[in-house]
Structure 1
Amino acid sequence: MKLEKISIKQLFLLMLAFEIGSAIIFSLGAEAKQDAWLTVLIGMVFGFILISVFTKLSEYYPGHSLIQIIQQLMGKFFGYPLCITYIIYFTSQAARISRDFSELMLSTILVGTPSIFILASFVVVIIYTLRGGIEVFGRMAELVFPVVLIISMSTWLIVYISGVVDMKHLTPFLGSGIKNIWKESFPYQTSLPFGELVIFTMIWPALKDNVKLKKVAMAAVLTAGVLLSLNILGMVSVLGPQLYGMLNYPLLSAIRMVSVADFLERVDAVVIMLMVAGGFFKVGIYIYGASVGTAQLLNLKSHHFVLIPLGAIIVPLGQIMVKTYAEHLAIGLKFDMTYLHLPLQFVIPSLLLIMAYLHNRVLSHSDPTLRQRQ
């Protein structure tokens, strides 16, 4: 199956958009209260470890996706079920995150609109873009996401100018207790969003030059961690730690408090569009990974044939997977974390890396030229 190619810059922006994506919507690290911003930075440190595992695995098998690596290491009997598990995981994540953004729009700017219509429209636009190839998706990130970042920084500048920020909300430092900070940092802020980068093992084979892969991936983790931490600092300083943990969309609530000279108000509509833009890239990357994995597993000539069937699955799945939004969040944080995120983001990639190391170690004895991979 022929894969399109993307540049290092496009990869960095895609990874950054993916990590920030839906993470800016929710109250990350809320249990740590005024220290919520610190939980993301600690999660980022673990994120460096995870990204090292993912990139090292790709270094052992350059040009191979996670699905191909699993098949090569584990064979068909054990590898096939695991490959299917990952494809289902990527698909369910696309459905869940699509549901997140449809709920966001339903409760803010499209009140009263049937949720299925919002969800379907969101997914259709993403699939239409992906049918142009990952190159088109990468160029889109190159054009759109820098604008998103500039507008986001300008919006926070307006927030600080408006005088609604109270730095006392951030004190006392470590006042929530080390236990709460650690509990929020691992596995929650490590898995979401840094552990989710496992999906990029499906995209890295499309990179034109993978020499700087690890450096770019590390830079994306660092940039996303710092930006998310600063975002939480801003929200907590505006809303206070108690209110920050109670709200479904704390960023919107913080932005809605902005008023500059009774003129510059109601900038929340712009912020919603920026959040949806981040979600567009995040869902798109999950759909791309699922389509490429399916095509490779079934030996199809192109993953484009899989995109529309995947969309036909994702839309109803996002609609029926839970009954209420509260149940949607509860399942995402408890069931998914224990039975999906931890095994598929942490355990299995680590085991695969150990297997790859041992496999290459054995091969190096018969072919000394392979030693340079280790």
Structure 2
Amino acid sequence: MKREQIGTSQLFILMVAFQIGSSLIFPLGLKSGQNAWLAALLGMFFGILVVFVFLRLFSHFQRDSLIQIILGLLGRGLGVPLCLTYIVYFTYEASRVVRDFSELLAATILVDTPQSVIIVCFIAVIIYTLRGGIEVFGRMAEMVFPFVMIVMGITWFTVYASGAFKIRHLTPIMFSGSANIWREAFPDLTVLPYGELIVFIMLWPFLGGKGKLSKISLAAVLTGGLLLTINILAMLAVLGPELYGILKYPLLASVRMVSIGDFLERIDAVVILLMVAGGFFKIGVYVYGAALGTAHLFKLKSPCDVMVPLGAIIAPFSLVMAENSGIHSKIGLGFDVKYVHLTLQIIIPSLLLLLSFLKLKKDGKEQTGQEGPLRDNNGNMENGDKGQAEGEP
């Protein structure tokens, strides 16, 4: 399998784009009312703890993806079913995000376009980009996403300058107590989006210079968390907690209220395109994680071999996974959070980390700062001295 590398800036941008990808679309922390931004801030700190578990697990197997780590710790008997579970999970999450953005486009700027056409075109562009490799995908994020952030910053500055931003909508702070804030922060605002970063264990082996991985990843979590918090704070200040809680797309409603001198109006089309850009990278990371995991599990030459079949699964599944957007949201924010995300993002990685500590201790290795068994991209064992002599991939 061809060895590729991504730079630290590319990884940082991909992780930030992944976090805010679909999180900008929907209202978060609804039960907290005007304190939703506090719940988001608290969720970010829980998210840092979750990502620390991922980083700690990866530190024992610095050349292995999540699939290879599972196989190395559990063997093929127990490992293969769990690996298949994660591959299906990444594919399922890609389908959910595709559905989110297809509904957004169909309800806003592509009203007369069939949703199936939007989905097929969206998936086709993503797979075409990914077939160039993770390096190409990383360079694309490096070029596009900074522009997205600049335009988003200008947009919110415009909202503030228009006079739509009202501080009174944010008060009183913690009037109803902290119970709702804690319930929203964990698990809802922890697993979405920070727990979803588990898919990056599939990408971390491609980083050139892994000594900076922890700093880059934690900085990305802080950046993404602060951006989400600021976004929620701004939407609450513009709409108020009542409107924020009942609107399906509160960000669009917020920017539609902008009017400066009857000249600068209706900038929501630009915001939609920015939101779609974030969704593009989130879906792409999930698709690549599923494709790479399949390649590692079945020892294929390249993840590109399964990307088209994955696209052929994701496109129709995203259409039939729920009868309507209401059921789709209820499943994603209810059943998935309580049972799917908590299990696959927190419980199983924590157990794998514990198992890796026990295995290292049993093998007589130090518990910190040492790699576990090295494997190549096909999951085969490599000689440790040889791997060290060759350096990082």
TM-score, normalised with respect to structure 2: 0.93
- Using the alignment, how far apart are the partners of 1:140 and 1:119 within structure 2? 21
CA contact (8 A) 1:32 1:177 kept: no
Q: Give yes or no for the alignment of 1:189 onto 2:189.
A: yes
Partner of 1:5: 5
Corresponding pairs, count? 371
- Residue 338 of structure 1 aligns with an amino acid whose one-letter code is K
Partner of 2:284: 284
Distance 1:372 1:125, change over 3 A: closer
- Using the alignment, how far apart are the partners of 2:220 and 2:72 within structure 1? 29
Q: CA deviation at 1:3?
A: 3.6
TM-score, normalised with respect to structure 1: 0.98
Partner of 2:204: 204
The SS at the match of 1:334 is: helix
Cα deviation digits, residues 287-312 of structure 1 (max 9, x gap) = 00000000001100100001000000
- Using the alignment, how far apart are the partners of 2:51 and 2:187 within structure 1? 15
The SS at the match of 1:109 is: coil
Q: Is there any run of 5+ residues in structure 2 with no aligned partner, and where?
A: 372-393
CA RMSD in angstroms comes to 1.1
CA contact (8 A) 1:8 1:216 kept: yes
CA contact (8 A) 1:361 1:371 kept: no
Partner of 2:254: 254
Q: Give yes or no for the alignment of 1:36 onto 2:48.
A: no
1:297-316 paired onto structure 2 within 5 Å: 297-316=297-316
Q: CA deviation at 1:326?
A: 0.3
- Using the alignment, how far apart are the partners of 1:284 and 1:100 within structure 2? 14
Cα deviation digits, residues 84-112 of structure 1 (max 9, x gap) = 00000000000000000000000000012
Q: Is there any run of 5+ residues in structure 1 with no aligned partner, and where?
A: none
Partner of 1:114: 114
Partner of 1:324: 324
Q: CA deviation at 1:339?
A: 2.2
Partner of 2:370: 373
Distance 1:160 1:300, change over 3 A: same
Q: CA deviation at 1:166?
A: 0.9
The SS at the match of 1:193 is: coil
Q: CA deviation at 1:176?
A: 3.5
Q: Give yes or no for the alignment of 1:353 onto 2:353.
A: yes
CA contact (8 A) 2:59 2:369 kept: no
CA contact (8 A) 2:2 2:302 kept: yes
- Using the alignment, how far apart are the partners of 2:120 and 2:290 within structure 1? 18
Q: CA deviation at 1:175?
A: 1.8
- Using the alignment, how far apart are the partners of 1:215 and 1:264 within structure 2? 40
CA contact (8 A) 1:34 1:175 kept: no
Distance 1:49 1:209, change over 3 A: same
Partner of 2:377: none
- Using the alignment, how far apart are the partners of 1:29 and 1:284 within structure 2? 26
Q: CA deviation at 1:369?
A: 7.2
- Using the alignment, how far apart are the partners of 1:61 and 1:302 within structure 2? 21
Cα deviation digits, residues 197-255 of structure 1 (max 9, x gap) = 00000000111111110111000000111111000111000000010010000000000
- Using the alignment, how far apart are the partners of 1:171 and 1:28 within structure 2? 18
Q: CA deviation at 1:340?
A: 1.0
The SS at the match of 2:363 is: helix
Cα deviation digits, residues 295-347 of structure 1 (max 9, x gap) = 00110010000100000000000000000000000000111112210000000
- Residue 14 of structure 2 aligns with an amino acid whose one-letter code is L
Instruction: Give every structure 1 segment of 4 or more consecutive aligned residues whose post-TM-superposition deviation is greater than 4 Å.
Output: 368-372
Partner of 2:235: 235
Cα deviation digits, residues 146-168 of structure 1 (max 9, x gap) = 00000000000000000011100
The SS at the match of 2:211 is: coil
Q: CA deviation at 1:124?
A: 0.6
Cα deviation digits, residues 18-44 of structure 1 (max 9, x gap) = 001000111010110100001111111
Partner of 1:179: 179
CA contact (8 A) 2:25 2:249 kept: yes
- Using the alignment, how far apart are the partners of 1:176 and 1:223 within structure 2? 29
